[in-house]
């Protein structure tokens, strides 16, 4: 089967600081793959590289067999990226924001309408979808952004801490939506600090620390290896 993501020995440096040091991993199509690790470990950096936003010093990163650097334009057609600190255009309503994004993915009017409807459904903002985004709460804006990332039905969705800032009910709702998308064949790459979420959601997990992947496997495999009952303990043990 074609690999959704193939990362080989990739190194990312900011100036002379090495943020990601020689990591390799693969993600299968249709999989939900989670990156976990302490703050500053290099998760966001990795996701940004996979999203074609950053240059790399060495190694290669391929999305469905396309190089993120050399074929960035065609990679961008396959992916949808939710940055960790993404914001919304303040003077646009939620709906016009979805409309704006849909304009880049859909080829015809009908497809666009369906896409926007899908987005509205995921965002669940009710009437507020017509309000200016500057009036949204943090969680509302996050939901809009998740909706925007998923409504375009990308082959690969890259979600940097998708549920950060959301309450329990909303987090659960978003997790369910992510799962549904994966079932329909979308590959998901996400990062999170919520161990419960990672355990519930991800098929496989990579543990990253100081720019290096130290563990990779299903949550069951990792728990067995460290002989603990939950991922949180695995995390704490592994980074010791």
Partner 1 sequence: MKHFYNLLKKEVKELLTREVIASMVFMIVFFVFMGKIIKGTKEEAKEINISILDLDSTQYLQNVLNMVSRQGIEINPIEAEDVEDAIKEAKEKNATVLLVIPSGFGAKMQEMEKAEIELYSIMKGLSIKETISSEIIKSVIRALNNSIATSFIQKAIPGKDPADILSPIHTKNFVILKERTIPGTPGVLSILITSQSIMIPLILVMVIMYTGMMIMTSMGLEKESKTLETLLSLPVRRSHIIAGKMAGSAVVGFMMTVVYMGGVRYYMSPMMESPEISIQLEEFGLSMTPLGYVLLGISIFLAILAALSVCIILGVFAQDTKSAQTMTYPIMLVAFIPFFLSMFKDIETLPLALKIIVYAIPFSHPMIASKSLIFHDYPTVLWGIGYMIIFTVITMWIAVRIFKTDKVLTAKFPIKWKRH
**22 near partner 1, rule: CB under 8 A:** no
- Note whether 160 and 44 are within 8 A (CB): yes
Residue-by-residue DSSP string for 161-222: STTTT--HHHHHHHHHHHHHHHHTT-EEEEE-S-HHHHHHH-SEEEEEETTEEEEEE-HHHH
CB atoms within 10 A of CB 122: 22
Q: Which stretch binds Mg ion (CB under 5 A): 80-88, 114-122, 144-152, 162-170?
A: 80-88
Residue 237 in contact with Mg ion, rule: CB under 5 A: no
Only segment of 12-20, 175-183, 192-200, 225-233 that touches partner 1 (CB under 8 A) = 12-20
Sheet holding 17-28, edge to edge: 17-28, 3-14, 58-63, 66-67
If contact means CB under 5 to 8 A according to the sort of partner, which of ligand ATP, Mg ion, partner 1, none does residue 77 touch? partner 1
Chosen from ligand ATP, Mg ion, partner 1, none, partner binding at 79 (C-beta under 5 to 8 Å by type):
partner 1
Only segment of 14-22, 63-71, 174-182, 195-203 that touches ligand ATP (CB under 6 A)? 14-22
> What minimum distance in Å lies between the beta carbon of 53 and ligand ATP?
11
Gap between the Cα atoms of 168 and 42, Å rounded: 26
Out of 9, 65, 103, 176, name the contact with partner 1 by CB under 8 A.
Answer: 103
């Amino acid at each position: 089967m074609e690999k959704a993501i193939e990362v080989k020995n990739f190194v990312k440096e900011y100036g002379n600081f090495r943020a990601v040091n020689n990591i390799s991993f693969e993600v299968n199509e249709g999989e939900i793959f989670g990156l976990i690790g302490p703050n500053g470990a290099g998760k966001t950096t990795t996701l940004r590289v996979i999203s074609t936003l950053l240059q790399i010093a060495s190694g290669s990163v391929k999305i469905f067999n396309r190089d993120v650097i050399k074929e960035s334009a065609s990679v961008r057609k396959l992916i949808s990226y939710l940055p960790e600190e993404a914001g919304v255009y303040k003077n646009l309503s939620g709906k016009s924001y979805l409309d704006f994004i849909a304009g880049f993915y859909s080829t015809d009017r009908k497809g666009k309408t369906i896409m926007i409807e899908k987005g509205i459904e995921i965002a669940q903002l009710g009437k507020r979808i017509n309000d200016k985004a500057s009036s949204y709460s943090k969680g509302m804006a996050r939901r809009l952004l998740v909706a925007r990332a998923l409504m375009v039905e990308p082959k690969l969705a890259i979600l940097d801490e998708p549920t950060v800032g959301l309450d329990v009910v909303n987090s659960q709702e978003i997790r369910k939506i992510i799962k549904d998308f994966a079932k329909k064949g979308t590959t998901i790459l996400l990062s999170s600090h919520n161990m419960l979420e990672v355990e519930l959601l991800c098929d496989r997990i990579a543990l990253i620390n100081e720019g290096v992947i130290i563990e990779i496997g299903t949550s069951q495999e990792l728990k067995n290896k460290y002989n603990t009952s939950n991922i949180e303990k695995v995390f704490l043990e592994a980074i010791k």
